[in-house]
Structure 1
Amino acid sequence: MRYVDLNDRDELNDHDAPRFTTPAGEIIGWRDRGVIRATGIRYARTQRFCAPKDELPSTAPIQATAWSPCAPQNLIPELNAVLGISAQAFSPCEGALHLSVTLPENPSPTPRPVMVWIHGGSYVFGAGDLPVFDVRPLALEQDVIVVAVTYRLGLLGFLGGYANRPANLGLLDMISALRWVNTNIAAMGGDPTNVTLFGQSAGGDAAAHLMIAEGTEGLFQRAIIQSAPLGISRGRANMYAKMSQQAATLNDDAPLDEVLRRQTQVAEAARGFGLKAAMPFGTQYGHYPLPTEAEADAAWRRAAAKIDLFMGYTAEENTLFVVISPSLMRLRNTPLVGEALSKAMVAVTTRKVYIRDAHKFARRHAQAGGPAYLYRLDWCKGRYPFGAAHTIDLPLLLGEPSGWQHADLVKGVDEATLLEHGKSMRALWADFARTGQLPATGHIEPQVLEWWEVS
């Protein structure tokens, strides 16, 4: 089993390429070990610091046989090592936005549920088609259609609100992608009235905010919010103002490498704002398409009855950030007291950034009339050095065991265990996507995952 290199034309069976006649145009995809893929489909065009423009229907066939390029970004070697991603996996593109669709090859008598993957990465890192985010096992095992979305990041996607540059551009990109799904997925065998967002970290934060974004009503019916840092999503206006001062002197037409250098400087301007500075870029209340911060809770209550919710966190989220920080690892490795101090710090910050606000979010949703379930992921808890850290859900949901062989995150975990527990977790996610309902309580193998209904 391997992630197909699209330069290997023999893998693509060009003579028998699958075709879809959609409102976007005729889409030509490719076959890959039991699934059909339509990759690198352009869903919108962009100009720098401008809202996306939905891609117009094409009169020529759309060759959907290349992976979606990533948004321009600064590479993060420490995170690449954690996830086992090589620098060569990042092929940036500015000016166009892409998504990829994966569905089982076998026909279905009824439209399939649709799951839309929003990658994480603190709004500065990642792409929908990274090899470790491969959605093929989820689509094939669970008979669902999975759409992976790539969107603008960092200074180009998640600052704005200054110098006539709009805020929330990356969020607007996601809404454009959801419009594409709503318009075209039926022609690919999907059910546009049964769409589930699922996103991890910043992707989970984005899914939460898409619930109250203008223009999203009816575009999705369920949300799975994984490890969203909701505890640091509020009270950011002063930090954004300071960052904007640093960004405002950048010319709109500056070379891309200059934009990325300036992004680093803009992020540095967030220092002094506590834990919020750990994710300096993000969504901005009071800027289209989001309500003001004071109105956000009421907006989530109004949305609750229309959206089924499943959300949760890992037991030791912030261990990830300890491991990738040399100074924090030196503290952790201090004889006698280091490990205890590190565990205490992880417990406090995990609760403050992730757990506390996940519970508040789910309770508010349930009290406002929406189905809500919470989960806690314990898989690998206590296992040195990462434990049940932030991102530990990703190798269970996405990719195949062989695709994670270079990831420090799961080093030493045997492939059979990863495959077994991954299948169970993918089944749970897809069960929720099909109906929005789960048993009131349950677990996957003691010490893997536990969930419960919120009332």
Structure 2
Amino acid sequence: MTERSTAPHDAGTAGDQTRIETPLGTFAALRHSHDVEQVRNIRYARAGRFEPPTPVPPEPEESAARQLDRYACPQPPSAADEVYGPQLAGMTFTEDCLRLSVTRPVRSPADDTLLPVLVWVHGGAYVSGAGDLPGYDPVALVREHGVVVVNVTYRLGALGFFGDDGGADGRPSRPANLGLLDVIEALRWVREHIEAFGGDPGQVTAFGQSAGADLLAHVLGADGTEGLLRRAILQSPPLGVRGGRAEIHDALVGAAGDLTAGSPVTDVVAAQVRAAAAVAGMNDRAGMPFAPEYGRAPLPPEDEFLATWRRRAPGLELLVTWTRQDGSAFVQLDPRGRALRARPVVGPLLFRLVARRVTDTLFRRGARAFAKNMAAAGAAVVAAELSTRPDGNPLGATHAVELGLLFPNAERWAEAPVIGPDGATHLVEAGRALRAAWVEFAKTGRLSADRVGVGPGWSGGLRVTRRS
């Protein structure tokens, strides 16, 4: 499969190389400050172009050869870099990206204590990102709380979320929801294999942000996933644009043209860009044109999905969050939004009003409705608003701003205007309480406090708005 690197082979690596013994074999690892170790790029499944994933057992030797790489699904440059910085610096693009990394405390061979597990599913509007980005470095979570963190990478865009409508025989040449199937397969891998790395398969919490949170919400309603996911943290899921996507999908298929398993990957990515441009501005779903498709495996029809969620709600433990200014980053990325903000006197006020409307439409209302529905159906739900923001940042508590607090890689987040050098200066201390809250939920399914603050250089915090 085609690979393309954005930087020298060893870019973005850190830690000393070591090896760890597990019941699955001896894995190469990177050790950080003598107390945290990380096994990178374990393949959890294989998949040909436009094919569902097939699970594979862990392969220690194959993973060992790739410890110094960071992999991502092939994808076009992201316009979001303007507010989130160069997220993909140092990544290698390859379709052989169905991989995960395991980060855990350093253990003695005799230590058989099983630790809580957090599984990270990244966002990026279903078209960008990767689980192993430097901005998702979980070392602080592991070091502070003695947990195991699994970072998952899955297929994106036209490679992962672009089913066709079938040929003359009625069978699709591009099955829908491949990226969703990838994440489901990764969660199954965790259930079956994480004990070998010291993780407790009975105490697994998946957490995701934006499209990653949306994916986890869809896992909860997918066929064949009953019991796979009991506890989840959904950060800013874009549930306001769930469903109603037929017009967008039809236009995408028409604009993309003929894509086959034999097309060069560059042609697939170019078709994705062409298709997204063709639907821009079509309706309020056009900002996230690639997404899970209802009525296509493994998802039930759209009109049955809410009932499926409700049927599976009993026994679930969910933390659902949004940020107070979730929409401000998207308004800033729109040239019209930037022009509005630049208007004399009234510009900043008008910008905030538009950002609030985007926040309500895409995030706040949908998250609240989801929390209410799941709680009414028997799930234990905590809903909360994040107002965390770097002091003086004009975008406020915008979309994804909390990620720097959860994954405090100061070097990486200093390059992101949503946080910047000043906000990144004290990230470890600033996010300590928020990381503790996430781990508390991962261990207990509850939050004991109604409010969680932030440390130096930041303002706001987390405020619980609903418990059930």
- CA gap of 1:60–1:49, structure 2 versus 1, over 3 A, is same
1:410 equivalent in structure 2:
419
Size of the aligned set, in residue pairs, is 446
Alignment partners' CA distance in 2, 1:186 and 1:32: 21
- CA gap of 1:415–1:440, structure 2 versus 1, over 3 A, is closer
Q: Deviations over 1:68-127 (max 9, x none)?
A: 410010011x42343333653221111341110000114566311111000000000001
- CA gap of 1:158–1:450, structure 2 versus 1, over 3 A, is same
Alignment partners' CA distance in 2, 1:431 and 1:211: 22
Of 278, 284, 287, the match for 1:269:
278
Stretch of structure 1 that moved more, 52-61 or 341-350: 52-61
Report 1:381-420 matches (<5 A).
383-415=392-424, 417-420=426-429
Instruction: Compute the displacement of 1:230 (Å).
Output: 0.3
Is residue 195–residue 219 contact of structure 1 (8 Å, CA) maintained in 2?
no
Report 1:174-213 matches (<5 A).
174-213=183-222
Alignment partners' CA distance in 2, 1:127 and 1:386: 24
Instruction: Compute the displacement of 1:57 (Å).
Output: 5.3
Of 125, 128, 144, the match for 2:147:
144
- CA gap of 1:330–1:146, structure 2 versus 1, over 3 A, is same
Say whether 1:447 aligns with 2:450.
no
Alignment partners' CA distance in 2, 1:19 and 1:28: 9
Q: Which amino acid aligns with 2:96?
A: G
Instruction: Compute the displacement of 1:423 (Å).
Output: 1.1
Say whether 1:27 aligns with 2:27.
yes
- CA gap of 1:274–1:29, structure 2 versus 1, over 3 A, is same
Q: Which amino acid aligns with 2:114?
A: P
Alignment partners' CA distance in 2, 1:266 and 1:10: 38
Q: Which ranges in structure 1 are unaligned for 5 or more consecutive residues?
A: none
Alignment partners' CA distance in 2, 1:405 and 1:324: 19
Instruction: Compute the displacement of 1:67 (Å).
Output: 3.6
Instruction: Compute the displacement of 1:382 (Å).
Output: 8.6
Instruction: Compute the displacement of 1:447 (Å).
Output: 1.9
TM-score (norm 2): 0.89
2:138 equivalent in structure 1:
135
Report 1:285-300 matches (<5 A).
285-300=294-309
1:258 equivalent in structure 2:
267
Structure with more of its chain in helix, by fraction: 1
Is residue 6–residue 65 contact of structure 1 (8 Å, CA) maintained in 2?
no
Is residue 162–residue 248 contact of structure 1 (8 Å, CA) maintained in 2?
no
Is residue 377–residue 388 contact of structure 1 (8 Å, CA) maintained in 2?
yes
2:16 equivalent in structure 1:
12
Stretch of structure 1 that moved more, 437-446 or 44-53: 437-446
Q: Which ranges in structure 2 are unaligned for 5 or more consecutive residues?
A: 1-8, 167-171
- CA gap of 1:183–1:6, structure 2 versus 1, over 3 A, is farther
TM-score (norm 1): 0.92
Stretch of structure 1 that moved more, 436-445 or 335-344: 436-445
Q: Which amino acid aligns with 1:125?
A: S
1:347 equivalent in structure 2:
356
Say whether 1:371 aligns with 2:380.
yes
Percent identity between the aligned chains?
A: 38
Alignment partners' CA distance in 2, 1:61 and 1:338: 55
Instruction: Compute the displacement of 1:35 (Å).
Output: 0.7
Alignment partners' CA distance in 2, 1:225 and 1:263: 27
- CA gap of 1:414–1:360, structure 2 versus 1, over 3 A, is closer
Stretch of structure 1 that moved more, 390-399 or 120-129: 390-399
Is residue 227–residue 390 contact of structure 1 (8 Å, CA) maintained in 2?
yes
Report 1:213-362 matches (<5 A).
213-362=222-371
Alignment partners' CA distance in 2, 1:203 and 1:252: 26
Provide the alpha-carbon RMSD of the alignment: 2.3
Alignment partners' CA distance in 2, 1:436 and 1:133: 23
- CA gap of 1:26–1:218, structure 2 versus 1, over 3 A, is farther
Q: Deviations over 1:247-269 (max 9, x none)?
A: 35223311111111110111123
> 1:275 is paired with a residue of what secondary structure?
coil
Q: Which amino acid aligns with 2:76?
A: N
1:71 equivalent in structure 2:
73
- CA gap of 1:378–1:59, structure 2 versus 1, over 3 A, is closer
> 2:94 is paired with a residue of what secondary structure?
coil
Instruction: Compute the displacement of 1:385 (Å).
Output: 2.6
> 1:92 is paired with a residue of what secondary structure?
strand
Is residue 376–residue 450 contact of structure 1 (8 Å, CA) maintained in 2?
yes
